[in-house]
Amino acid sequence: MGVKIPTARLSNGVEMPQIGFGVAALGNGKEFYAAMDSALENGFRMFDTAPFYENEAEVGDVLRHCSVPREELFIATKLPNACHAYEDTLRAFDSALKNMGLDYLDLFMIHFPVPSVGKYPEAWKAMEKLYRDGKVRAIGVSNFQEKHLQKIFETGEIVPHVNELECNPYLTVRPLCNFCQENKIRVINWFPLGGPREPLVPYPTDDFKVLLDEPLLIQIGEKYGKSSAQIALKWAIQNQITPIPKSANPKRIRQNTELFDFEMTKEELEAIDALDHGRRLGPDPDTFDDMEMG
């Protein structure tokens, strides 16, 4: 049955697993189905998708037919960038539910703020309606900077329950994480392992280092009998952040659940924090406005 993954309580009392399974890079073919089976078998209960990942329907399909009761699953998807108008947000939510064959979602997030369009406060109003209507158990944002959250605080009524952002020991975004935590917004981190070993686009500089080859993570891992990946994931968890690692490999999927039998010291966590050099590999939320995405 795999590991029993503990949960964290969101500000509205909803329990969310302390680690989720990221499906962004898994496609929707054989590899995806095998990875989903392995994730479920090893104890993953939280699944994070989006229309842009082209596997929203397949995620719904697997989870509808798996042996885990619906109430033990935590299913999240996101609002596409082109749907920030109020009515479009409501429609996008309905079509996500239909696409996944579900009666409700556990979490719905605005995928990107798209500041150049500036309609995310309008989208948030619609998210609030979906939440109040009981169609979704928690609502959140993704890739929001502090100023975008401030805007939501001014114009909205509900503080987002989560903010899902790119974050790992090389990009700790500590001020933003602190701001979220001060406001009881749970941070979920994507690219928790530093993203794919083979870059999606060429990496910009010669001094590029693969996070999982980082000597400090390997060294701390040796002390606990864990891999550098497990150290990166546990660093997030001990910082009250929920990682959503991607893996298509059954052994690594299993490894990514074996995190709850050790605790790092405060000094070790601080040493990992010091690895931060602000290296972002994904899109910059301040300028990203691709309407095909999301």
Catalytic residue annotation: 53
Residue 172: which residues within 8 A CB-CB, separation 6 or more? Answer: 273, 275, 276
14/248 with CB nearer ligand A2P: 248
CB-count exposure of residue 175 (10 Å: 0-12, 13-18, 19+): exposed
Mask of contacts with ligand A2P, 22-41, x by CB under 6 A?
Answer: x-------------------
Site residues for ligand A2P, 6-25, by CB under 6 A, read: 22
Interface of this chain with ligand A2P, residues 250 to 269, rule: CB under 6 A? 252, 255-256
- Write the interaction track for ligand A2P spanning residues 93-132; mark x where CB under 6 A is met and - where it is not: ----------------------------------------
* CA distance readout (Å), 104 to 56, 99, 164: 14, 12, 20
CB neighbours of 198 closer than 8 A, spacing ≥ 6?
Answer: none
> To the nearest whole angstrom, how small is the minimum distance from the Cβ of residue 247 to ligand A2P?
3
* Residue among 83 and 244 whose Cβ is closer to ligand A2P: 244
Question: How many angstroms separate the CA atoms of 146 and 144, rounded?
Answer: 7
Residue 70 beta carbon to ligand A2P: minimum distance, rounded to whole angstroms:
26
Whether the CB-CB separation of 79 and 89 falls below 8 Å is answered with yes
Cβ atoms 270, 196 nearer than 8 A: no
> Residue 209, interface with ligand A2P (CB under 6 A)?
no
Closer of 169 and 192 to ligand A2P (Cβ)? 192
User: For ligand A2P, what does the binding mask look like between residues 221 and 250, x meaning CB under 6 A?
Assistant: ------x-x---------------xxxxx-
The helix/strand/coil state of 68 is coil
H-only helix segments in the chain: 30-41, 56-65, 86-100, 120-132, 146-155, 174-182, 215-224, 228-238, 250-255, 266-273
Applying CB under 6 A, the site for ligand A2P has a residue count of 19
Encode burial over 79-117: b for 16+ CB neighbours within 10 A, e otherwise.
bbbbbbebebbbebbeebbebbebeebbbbbbbbbbbeb
Per-residue contact flags (x/-) with ligand A2P for residues 165 to 204, judged by CB under 6 A: --------------------------xxxxxxx-------
Least Å distance, CB 212 to ligand A2P, is 5
Judged by beta carbon, residue 159 or residue 210, the one nearer ligand A2P is: 210
As measured in angstroms, the least distance from the Cβ of 127 to ligand A2P is 26
At its nearest, how many Å lie between ligand A2P and the CB of residue 171?
11
3-state secondary structure of 198: coil
- Is the CB of 210 or the CB of 271 nearer to ligand A2P? 210
Nearer to ligand A2P, 33 or 86 (CB): 33
Residues that bind ligand A2P in the complex, under the rule CB under 6 A: 22, 191-197, 212, 227, 229, 245-249, 252, 255-256
